[in-house]
Amino acid sequence: MARALAYGSVAFFDLIVATVDRVDELDGLLASLERQTFRDFRVIVVDQNEDDRLADVLRKRDVTHLRSTRGLSRARNVALGQVDAQVVAFPDDDCRYPDDLLERVAERLADDTLEGLTGREVDVDGNSSASWRRDVATLTRDNLWNRAISFTIFLRASLVGRVGEFDEELGLGSGTRWSSGEETDYLIRAVDAGARIEYDPDVVVVHAGTARPAPEVGARDGASLGYILRKHRYPLRTVGGMLGRPVGGAMLALARRDTARAAFHVSTLRGRLRGYRAA
């Protein structure tokens, strides 16, 4: 991976990779970055491991290696203090960038009025969950749901400077009940700061497919979403809609005799209620 930058001493992209426990997956991500057609980027790996398991993977590549205690938001915040690029992104340690991804994002951000871009998650076969929106849209507080996930977010560093750090109460490893949703919280704060961020479903990042939704995941993510709704003082009509969706999902699943998916939706509802009440 060339850290000698193609267009000057300051990278166009700083790619912040918070990682823990994974070695082969991180190696795969870094290999995908080596194939990027756009070369003007720096990789910042924030290592949350207590040992040196990443030594062999990192030794063969020129990356910035930082250390952090466990916690996704804490790790990203450590790296935010080192940002020196024009655009910041947050690839997961187990995702893959298509070869032309950074080139496409850089072309879109040639529009100086655009402060950020989000895209869509696909699996290795190019398929997405039905929950992902398929329309191009400018993000608002009301429409940003299902139009971003952390590894599909690209933000100008100037915007990151205005928004500040991630909420360390949110995200995997936070030690709280709110172990997801940190990127949603961040986007809401960015939109509230007046940022123009566009969602483009043709901008995709590859992430391995996951198993059928489990009730514990629904409860976890539901609690985080409830916390975010309360934190950002969403109106009751929005809260009601967020509570109604898993109810409808559970009813539809039961009509199809899919008890596992029904259990997931019920857990999601309970999590959202618990998170909203506790925030």
Asked whether the predicted pLDDT for residue 81 surpasses 60, the reply is: yes
Q: Which of 8-12, 95-99, 176-180, 217-221 has the lowest mean pLDDT?
A: 8-12
Residues sharing a CB contact under 8 Å with residue 42, sequence separation 6 or more, in sequence order? 3, 5, 11, 13, 14, 15, 63, 64, 84, 85
Which tokens hold the place of 238?
């929005």
In the chain, where do the E strands start and end?
Answer: 13-19, 41-47, 64-67, 87-89, 95-96, 116-122, 137-138, 153-156, 197-207
Asked whether the predicted pLDDT for residue 8 surpasses 80, the reply is: no
As a whole number of angstroms, the distance between CA 18 and CA 20 comes to 7
Greater model confidence, 99 or 177: 99
**Position of tokens 């008890």?**
259
151: DSSP letter:
G
As a whole number of angstroms, the distance between CA 180 and CA 174 comes to 9
Q: How confident is the model at residue 211 (pLDDT cuts 50, 70, 90)?
A: low
Q: How confident is the model at residue 7 (pLDDT cuts 50, 70, 90)?
A: very low
Closest Cα partner for 184 from 176, 196, 192, 175?
Answer: 192
Asked whether the predicted pLDDT for residue 5 surpasses 60, the reply is: no
pLDDT tens per residue across span 221-240? 999 999 999 999 999 999 99
Instruction: Note the pLDDT of residue 6.
Output: 42
Closest Cα partner for 67 from 53, 83, 46, 50?
Answer: 46
84: DSSP letter:
-
Q: What is the mean pLDDT of the chain?
A: 94
